[in-house]
Amino acid sequence: MTTSPQPSTPLITELRQICGSANVLTHEDPATDLSPWEQDWRKRVKGRALAVVRPGNTSEVAAVVKACAAANTPIVPQGGNTGLVVGGVPNGSGTQIVLSMTRMNAVRAIDPANLTITVEAGCVLQNLQAAAEAAGFLFPLSLGAEGSCTIGGNLGTNAGGTQVVRYGNTRELCLGLEVVNAQGDIWHGLSGLRKDNTGYDLRNLMIGSEGTLGIITAATMKLYPQPAAQLTAWAAVPSMEAAVQLLGLAHQRLGPGLTGFEVMNQFALGLVDKHYPQLRVPLWQGTPWCVLLENSDSENEQHARSQFEALLEAALEQGYASDAVVAENLTQAKGLWHIRESITMAQAQEGLNIKHDISIPVSRIPAFVAETDALLAREVPGVRMVDFGHLGDGNLHYNVQAPEGADGQAFLREFEDKVNTWVFDQVKRFGGSISAEHGVGEQKVNKLPLYKDPTALAMMRAVKKALDPQNLLNPGRVLGK
Ligand code: FAD
Ligand code: MLT
Ligand code: ZN
């Protein structure tokens, strides 16, 4: 990393005094490339930062916020920059500070008796999982971006991932927060308490606020015992109805042992097969859907296997599955998960697409998919659906890929807004949400008022105004201007 040259504004001078010159990067130095902080993961938006500021501790964050507030300069908090809704990159004005939290990545403490771990916001999720494992525990949050996303970003977006069916979203895993508010004051809320009814729940207000209400600098997260055995299965299922029936059966037979239930359509798996043939996708060619199930057992592997095999036999008998395999060992299990987690990359390799991250009551998903597929096929000839997601949570990534051979940019120009409207209208009709786990960011900001309860939106605006009257923190995101 290159050190920027002499500052050009009093604010930049002050920020360099607070964090050290090497940690305040600007465009003044031609050798410094800010694009990793300015470009979103999907490469849909390239902003321009006034500076990228990389604080090393909570006091520095507080001082940076105070300096920015005095200069009326907006701040965009950023973790691993893996967000999918354009929430963590600056806009194009060149007037916003990106506050990159990645230097604050320490594990501060593990409390085995309290089953908690306290980490700084910039701690990469995979490192948090590894720290928990080294102490003999499980930290269950898991998602495809875990090698680069941070716990601060996970909390900022209330990330979901693949273990929600058992352990809940990031919100359910958090017991305490340390936050710098928009005035630059530090809220010391790392209590680790499981019970605390002393007024408004500020922790849950901050979680999922996408950097618009405060900057999370550290968090106390729950730990769980490691399962005695964990098995993964892959099943071909004849329809979405069958997938939902299989989910019901899995809940019934495995109870809390059911820790993952993912669904993937044939086209999504075909993309993985096309772009990553070495991954050897099983059972996908002769079936419209495949399901990945995980059974985490507190007894032993034999118990887990016999329970799992009995479940799959029953599913085959009842026609909920047409074929199934159970991973023989951890390597095979990891391979199956890797296939599932590669869909996002395979889809990106295939070209431009319109992503949706929706939730619908599980019972209504089959009808939603049948109706919406038919609608899109009518309106967009040759449309290709990349449909996958966390069926156990009623969360689908219901994505629309440009027709084969189409010019992706032209496709987006003609169809992106129309497709969003068709899909979101359907989501509303089926009682769902237009953002299940990725958040609102900038991408869905114009759609939110059309699909969210107006009273809820008015209350959200009142909260934002009360906590951030200067509109300093991630302005324009979630609520718009
Ligand atoms: P960033 O992208 O840097 O920021 C995201 C938002 O949080 C921004 O609004 C930002 O301002 C805010 N923010 C960041 N840090 C802080 C902080 N310290 N304090 C306050 N606000 C902050 N998401 C899921 O939910 N489930 C998935 O299964 C999933 N899978 C993914 C797979 C891939 C391959 C990719 C690329 C992304 C995936 N995501 C998934 C989306 C993304 O990884 C999550 O949203 C993640 O939580 C973002 O973390 P981050 O550190 O990268 O945050
Ligand atoms: C996933 O479940 O893989 C993620 O949410 C990423 C995506 O939607 O592409
Ligand atoms: Zn997801």
For the chain, domain boundaries: 10-100, 107-225, 229-344, 351-429
Q: Phi and psi (nearest 5°) for 283?
A: 55, 15
The yes-or-no answer to whether 229-344 and 351-429 have a common fold is yes
Q: 322: CA distance to ligand 1 center in Å?
A: 36
Q: What sign has the CA pseudo-torsion 78, 82, 87, 92?
A: positive
Ligand 1 atom nearest to CA at 125: 51
Could you count the other beta carbons within 10 Å of the beta carbon of residue 36?
11
pLDDT score of 298: 86
For the Cβ of 78 lying below 6 angstroms from any atom of ligand 1, the answer is yes
Q: How far apart are CA 394 and CA 94, in angstroms?
A: 39
> How confident is the model at residue 29, as a pLDDT?
87
Strands 224-225 and 353-354: unpaired
Q: Which parts of 58-192 fold into alpha helices (H)?
A: 58-70, 125-134, 151-157, 164-167
pLDDT of residue 5: 42
- In terms of C-beta density within 10 A (0-12 exposed, 13-18 middle, 19 or more buried), how is residue 89 classed? buried
Among 149, 158, 181, 438, name the best residue to mutate to test ligand 1's pocket (greatest count of ligand atoms within 8 A of Cβ).
149
Kindly state if the Cβ of 87 falls inside 6 Å of ligand 1. yes
Instruction: Give pLDDT, residue 3.
Output: 42
Q: Which atom of ligand 1 is least distant from the CA of 179?
A: 19
Helices (runs of H) and strands (runs of E) counted in the chain: 16, 19
Q: What's the CA-to-centroid distance between 122 and ligand 1, angstroms? A: 11
Nearest CA to ligand 2 atom 6: 344
> Using a 6 Å cutoff on CB, does residue 351 contact ligand 2?
no
Distances (CA, A) of 70 to 48, 66, 85, 463, 472: 21, 6, 29, 22, 10
What is the architecture, at CATH level 2, of domain 107-225? Answer: 2-Layer Sandwich (3.30)
Neighbours of 198 (CB within 10 A): 6
Q: Which fold has domain 229-344?
A: Alpha-Beta Plaits (3.30.70)
Atom of ligand 2 nearest to the CA of 347: 9
- The CB of 88 under 6 Å from ligand 1? The reply is yes
- CATH 3.30.70.2740 given to domain 351-429: yes
* Contacting residues for 247 by C-beta, under 8 A, at least 6 apart: 261, 362, 391, 392
CA distance 61 to 185: 10
Q: Is the interface score ipTM higher than 0.85?
A: yes
SS3 480: coil
10-residue mean pLDDT series, the chain (481 residues): 56 98 95 96 96 98 98 98 98 98 98 98 98 98 98 98 98 98 98 96 98 98 97 98 98 97 98 97 97 94 94 98 96 98 95 95 98 96 95 98 91 96 98 98 97 98 98 97 84
| Best probe residue, ligand 2, of 158, 163, 169, 344 (max atoms within 8 Å of C-beta) | 344
* C-beta of 142 in contact with ligand 1 (< 6 A): no
Ligand nearest the Cα atom of residue 37: 1
Q: Answer whether 344 contacts ligand 2 (Cβ < 6 A).
A: yes
The C-alpha atoms of residue 15 and residue 318 are separated, in whole angstroms, by 65
The domain 10-100 is classified under which CATH number: 3.30.365.10, 3.30.43.10, 3.40.190.170, 3.20.20.10? Answer: 3.30.43.10
What is the predicted pLDDT for the residue at 77? 99
Please tell me the predicted confidence (pLDDT) of residue 327.
Answer: 96
Question: What tokens appear for 57 in the block?
Answer: 């501790």
Decide whether any atom of ligand 2 lies within 6 Å of the 397 Cβ.
Answer: yes
At 295 the pLDDT is 97
- Give the SS3 label for residue 411: helix
